[in-house]
Structure 1
Amino acid sequence: MDATPQEFDRVLSSMCTRPHPAAARAAERFLADNPGDPATYPDVATLEERAVATLGDVTGLDDPAGYVASGGTEANLQAVRAARDRAASGDPTVVAPTSVHFSFQKAADVLGVDLHLVPVDDDHRADTDALAAAIDDDTALVVAVAGTTEFGRVDPIPEVGSIAREAGARFHVDAAWGGFHLPFTDHAWHFGHASLDTLTIDPHKVGRAPIPAGGFLARDEATLDALAVETPYLETTSQATLTGTRSGAGVAGAAAALDEQWPDAYEENHERAAANAVHLAEQLTDRGYDVVAPELPLVAFSLSDAEFDAARDAGWRLSRTGSGEARVVCMPHVTRAMLDAFLDTLDAARVGASG
């Protein structure tokens, strides 16, 4: 095979990163195990229980229900599915800010529910008045985001949770990317801060687990019971996950990544990433770019098409938001030296354009 895995030395826009070495070793050991049949594969099932328990520590939930999913898309779909199946309305809907991940559009399409997207405020966070106004008797689920994909914003989670509870709707928080940064900030975002029913948090992002390793957590086992189907031809006779056969590598890698890094290494990573984001934002501002001040370690800024193309031509993996800003995600592999080299590329592009 002549294909080559992506190197990360110029990857700036991805929310994936190099897995922790201990996680990579664990993943290789459990390549053939299937957590989808825990009675047949009890050792990897034990690792999954351990991973879910630690994710409960991260997200402020004692004795969580949940599992290691394929990623945030699956976890978000499962939250919508659980809300749909437990809804009192015969025509359940989902209300969310426009900043939600595109996986909710997939979930609405696959599950046959209407997704009502409402505007965000001037700082790219959920507008609580707009959310409240969009909710009606058919609303089965209200969604908020703790670390948006485009701008790294944290919605006012307790306030949105109160709105959902008053309406009798379930409440889901997507913390797929932000979940491993937020414990080391002063944001109120997790099960202990608000009346969340379900939450998404992905070990294969900032958690440095190998792909695939998302996380779906629920406040109570009844949520998983509502998702379960019978599996009479397996040793395990029911299954609440969306996929059947699942990755033993993802589960084992997630457990190892959490064991090795929670909480100290994750805190160190957050502090380093936050400092890098501030550094980049300041350097870009000094150069005259319009910068969206970072809340979590993600920097969005204005960038001309010529400079964007020059950066891409120089090998930088860079993307734009839906409204056109370039975005840099300060993942664990992103170093200060990388960011300074990226700034050098932009400086050269500007000189070339003016000369």
Structure 2
Amino acid sequence: MQQPEPQSFDRVLSSMCTEPHPAAREAAERFLATNPGDPATYEAVASLEERAIELLATLAEHPTPTDAAGYVTSGGTEANVQAVRSARNRHDASDVNVVVPESGHFSFHKAAELLDVELRTVPVDDDFRTRTDAVSAAVDDATALVVGVAGTTEYGRVDPIPELTRIAHETGARMHVDAAWGGFVLPFTDGEWSFDDAAVDTLTIDPHKFGQAAVPAGGLLARDAAALDALAVDTPYLETRSQATLTGTRSGAGVAGAVAAMEALWPDGYRDAVERATANAEWLASALAERGYEVVDPELPLVAAALPRSEFDALREAGWKVSRTSHGELRVVCMPHVTREALRAFVADLDRIRE
């Protein structure tokens, strides 16, 4: 039986994954059969994971990147689940809650169900950022974690991380930033989101998104080792006697690919990619606004616009891989593989559909 070809990225406009950098692709293939979950056996990839955390911590402005705690996860979902689990395990109350904005990723709903914690969802303001007054009203002594998003999946917004961190710590909770997508974009903006901008406890940042690593390669970072210590379980049949990760066997490909991509692209390659993506998002937003569509002003390279359902469906039928926000707007993520030529073709198809 002939095997199908992989998905082409030519018309993929809604994904937060992208084509891996050639160096990441090659490194991932070389380390395909290694398991960083057994570091005493797979020493080379274990060493690479230490390098991956140092590089991620550098991006996220950790005060001492060589001392940062963390590991390469399967993606943002695992990192977010682990951040909730760590905060729950470190909190004194028996029944804990986690405060998350309604713009938060659906992984927090998974975390709440898996970990049996109460999820308190708070509203966002008119610009799709978390309302700090709502967070202040939602937290109490049983709050283990407050979550802020740095690059929301629907509108590319950055929550007021310093203020959320202050609220969290004043009530005795930890602070987690979900920068799964935004973490490789925000270093080249003036947004406040990092370990340097606030006393953030844990942070999600995914190399397999804008970082151009091979899937799967997410990232969980912690300000100090205590956050990971709270996750550790005994592993009696391995030479490494404890493990803080959620999955046991993990992908050495993800680790090696992440390091290769970051070493090839940080910082100038990422800066160039962000500048191109930002220019593309601004061009598309302007093109859609000129055609009379209501467009959410892009803060990061993500465009949301109110298209009629019939036009959206016709674009999908024409082969464009686009998605909608929870409010029904067209959602286009200008990832590194999205070119101006592709966006011009997309708009040309939209004009044809509108005739």
Q: Which residue of 2 aligns with 1:328?
A: 332
State the Cα distance separating 1:4 from its structure 2 match.
1.8
Q: Which residue of 2 aligns with 1:349?
A: 353
Matched residue type, 1:262: W
Q: Which residue of 2 aligns with 1:30?
A: 31
1:57 matched to 2:58? The reply is: yes
1:282-329 deviation per Cα after TM superposition (whole angstroms, max 9, x unaligned): 110001000000000000000111111111111000100001111000
1:204 matched to 2:218? The reply is: no
Q: Distance in 2 between matches of 1:137 and 1:160?
A: 16
Q: Which residue of 2 aligns with 1:80?
A: 84
How many residue pairs were aligned?
A: 351
State the Cα distance separating 1:78 from its structure 2 match.
0.3
1:109-142 deviation per Cα after TM superposition (whole angstroms, max 9, x unaligned): 0000010001000000000000111111110000
Q: Which residue of 2 aligns with 1:125?
A: 129
Match of 1:229 among 212, 227, 233: 233
1:273 matched to 2:303? The reply is: no
Q: Distance in 2 between matches of 1:115 and 1:173?
A: 16
Q: Distance in 2 between matches of 1:78 and 1:309?
A: 37
Q: Which residue of 2 aligns with 1:20?
A: 21
Q: Which residue of 2 aligns with 1:43?
A: 44
Matched residue type, 1:20: H
Report the secondary structure of 2:279's partner residue: helix
Q: Which residue of 1 aligns with 2:220?
A: 216
Q: Which residue of 2 aligns with 1:303?
A: 307
Q: Which residue of 2 aligns with 1:115?
A: 119
TM-score computed with the length of structure 1 as normaliser: 0.98
Q: Distance in 2 between matches of 1:92 and 1:117?
A: 14
Report the secondary structure of 2:220's partner residue: strand
Q: Distance in 1 between matches of 2:325 and 2:173?
A: 30
Q: Distance in 1 between matches of 2:182 and 2:240?
A: 33
Matched residue type, 1:314: A
Report the secondary structure of 1:69's partner residue: coil
Q: Which residue of 1 aligns with 2:242?
A: 238
1:261 matched to 2:265? The reply is: yes
Question: In the TM superposition, what are the counterparts of 1:98-177 in structure 2 within 5 Å?
Answer: 98-177=102-181
State the Cα distance separating 1:339 from its structure 2 match.
0.6
Q: Distance in 1 between matches of 2:281 and 2:295?
A: 11
Q: Distance in 2 between matches of 1:9 and 1:285?
A: 24
Match of 1:67 among 54, 66, 71: 71
1:210-251 deviation per Cα after TM superposition (whole angstroms, max 9, x unaligned): 000000000001111110111010121110000000000001
State the Cα distance separating 1:107 from its structure 2 match.
0.4
Q: Distance in 2 between matches of 1:340 and 1:128?
A: 39
Report the secondary structure of 2:100's partner residue: strand
4+ runs deviating over 4 angstroms: none
Q: Distance in 1 between matches of 2:222 and 2:51?
A: 15
| Unpaired stretches in structure 2, ≥5 consecutive residues | none
Matched residue type, 1:132: S
Matched residue type, 2:11: R
TM-score computed with the length of structure 2 as normaliser: 0.98
Report the secondary structure of 2:230's partner residue: helix
Matched residue type, 1:187: G
Report the secondary structure of 2:46's partner residue: helix
Q: Which residue of 2 aligns with 1:181?
A: 185
State the Cα distance separating 1:2 from its structure 2 match.
2.3
Q: Distance in 2 between matches of 1:225 and 1:158?
A: 25
Matched residue type, 1:228: A
Matched residue type, 1:181: V
Matched residue type, 1:39: A
Matched residue type, 2:40: A
| Segment of structure 1 superposing worse, 231-240 or 208-217 | 231-240
| Unpaired stretches in structure 1, ≥5 consecutive residues | none
